[in-house]
A and B are shown apart, each in its own frame.
Chain A
Amino acid sequence: MPALEQLLHSTALGDEQAFATLYDEAAPRVYGLCLRVLRDPAQAEEVAQEVLVEIWRNATRFDARRGSAGAWITTIAHRRAVDRVRSVQASGERERRTAYGEEAGYDAVAETAAVRLEHRQVRRCLQTLTELQRQAVTLAYYGGHTYRQVASLLGTAVPTVKSRIRDGLLKLRDCLEVAR
């Protein structure tokens, strides 16, 4: 999506109008991902705001040679959301959240994806993963868990989880690339 790259470049030059357009393009992705990871609309809104302002502030540091604008933006959003999850966990709310959230797991994601025709591709590619690969990847990415937490949630050895995440992502990469 070259449009995003261009909007980021204009934003880097202080173009507020370009940033407003960038907001319209990117905010649903940023907010949606925060919401999925944090599972709390108020916190998701707060973190999404931080992320989007950070995108404004650091647009000057986006380097298209190192990756796409979509990856750059989404990486910032995911890291911020995960940082928030971890600090919430550190402050002792972990048990409650885990109890509330875990059931949602992969199924909720699949369901959400199913109603969005344009997201069939990612969903289809997730289906090419083995059950364990898919669970490991989705618990880590959508659930914001560390690989150690994923191992204990799945009752699997830590080294196995590390390699399942990597193998799953490689499959995802191949599937998305072929489909492009």
Chain B
Amino acid sequence: MTADVHALIGPWAVDAVDDDERAMVERHLAECDSCAQEAAELREAVWRLSDATIADPPPRLRARVLHAASRTRQSAPVPEPEPERRPEPKRLRRHRGLPRLRLALAAGALAAVMAVVGGLVTWSVMRSQEPGATDADRIAAVLQAGDAEVGTVTAEGGGDVTVVRSEAMDQAVVVVSGLAAIGQDRSYQVWMVEPDGQVSAGVMDPGERSATMLVSGLGDAELVGVTEEPAGGSEVPTSPLVAGVSLQG
């Protein structure tokens, strides 16, 4: 039975199976990592076969499709599979006396951040392969914004977290540098804490202690905080803040 499924992955990738076989293959792919890997690779090769059949559709199709789309409700996203054991939703406690943002009037403060970010920008750029505005450009734009505000805090266990925010741009740059060493099975995660809970702003690579990230859409976030989580991050924080910068002026 299993052997049959394996022999069907090739035909499945080009839709040369019947409905029952397709269902059987897809059930197997959900359970077998190595087959799922091969199937994904075959799919990436197969679609390129359509390079050879590109053809201009009749011009009228465009208006029809756009019109139909404007009247079609979009599906709800498929929910992420539930983790086996879901931690109790925890709220990050708001701390008193956290450092607050200050208007970066002193060019010195911004220059200091630039020095840190400048060194780390490579990190972001390497991960963004699209042409045009790179993360580096967007980070620089926030740092140079006329209304840029800066706040820095020393993290528990060492290192610091610096937040530069432009309210006008509704963006912030979060610079995490030299936090306490963690194993490859742990990640630092950055959170935006809002009045009714928190949202993840980004998860650093496992074991990584320094990063620069651009956060867009600050909304009514009150605090930028960092926690240590299992590698890959958590849906809700599972440990107390190692650092937090208040966004309230």
Judged by DSSP, the binding face of B is helix
Return B233 CB to nearest CB of chain A, in Å: 14
A57 and B49 contacting across the interface, CB-CB below 8 Å:
no
User: Which of B14, B46, B66, B77: most chain A CB closer than 10 A?
Assistant: B14
A28 to B61: give the CA distance in the assembly, Å.
Answer: 11
A38 to B44: give the CA distance in the assembly, Å.
Answer: 22
Instruction: Choose from A60, A75, A126, A141 the contact partner of B76 (Cβ within 8 Å).
Output: A60
| Contact residues in B for A147 (Cβ distance below 8 Å) | 11, 16-17
A-B interface pairs (CB < 8 A), number: 187
Indicate with 1 or 0, residue by residue over A119-131, a CB within 8 angstroms of chain B CB atoms. Answer: 1011100100000
Instruction: Choose from A33, A57, A168, A170 the contact partner of B75 (Cβ within 8 Å).
Output: A57
**A68 contacts chain B at the CB level, 8 A cutoff:** yes
Indicate with 1 or 0, residue by residue over B127-155, a CB within 8 angstroms of chain A CB atoms. Answer: 00110000000000000000000000000
**A163 contacts chain B at the CB level, 8 A cutoff:** yes
B52 and A2 contacting across the interface, CB-CB below 8 Å:
no
A121 to B44: give the CA distance in the assembly, Å.
Answer: 15
A28 and B7 contacting across the interface, CB-CB below 8 Å:
no
| Contact residues in A for B7 (Cβ distance below 8 Å) | 159, 162-163, 166
B18 and A33 contacting across the interface, CB-CB below 8 Å:
no
| Contact residues in A for B76 (Cβ distance below 8 Å) | 60
| Contact residues in B for A75 (Cβ distance below 8 Å) | 43, 47
| Contact residues in B for A159 (Cβ distance below 8 Å) | 7
Output the nearest chain B residue to A78 by Cβ-Cβ distance.
B15
**B106 contacts chain A at the CB level, 8 A cutoff:** no
Interface residue count for A (Cβ, 8 Å)?
77
In A136-180, the 8 Å CB interface with B consists of 137-138, 140-142, 144-147, 150, 159, 161-163, 165-170, 172-173, 176-177
Output the nearest chain B residue to A161 by Cβ-Cβ distance.
B11
| Contact residues in B for A142 (Cβ distance below 8 Å) | 49, 53
Instruction: Choose from B16, B61, B68 the contact partner of A145 (Cβ within 8 Å).
Output: B16
Instruction: Choose from B17, B52, B66, B68 the contact partner of A119 (Cβ within 8 Å).
Output: B52
Interface residue count for B (Cβ, 8 Å)?
47
Return B207 CB to nearest CB of chain A, in Å: 20
Return A118 CB to nearest CB of chain B, in Å: 7
Judged by DSSP, the binding face of A is helix
Name 10 interchain pairs, CB-CB below 8 A, sorted by A.
Answer: A19-B66, A29-B54, A49-B65, A52-B65, A57-B74, A112-B52, A141-B14, A147-B11, A169-B42, A176-B45
Chain A residues with CB under 8 Å of chain B are: 2-3, 6, 12, 14, 16, 19-20, 23-24, 27-33, 35-36, 41, 45, 48-49, 52-53, 56-61, 66-68, 70-71, 73-75, 77-79, 82, 109, 112-113, 116, 118-119, 121-123, 126, 137-138, 140-142, 144-147, 150, 159, 161-163, 165-170, 172-173, 176-177
Chain B residues with CB under 8 Å of chain A are: 7-11, 13-18, 40-58, 61-62, 64-66, 68-70, 72-78, 129-130
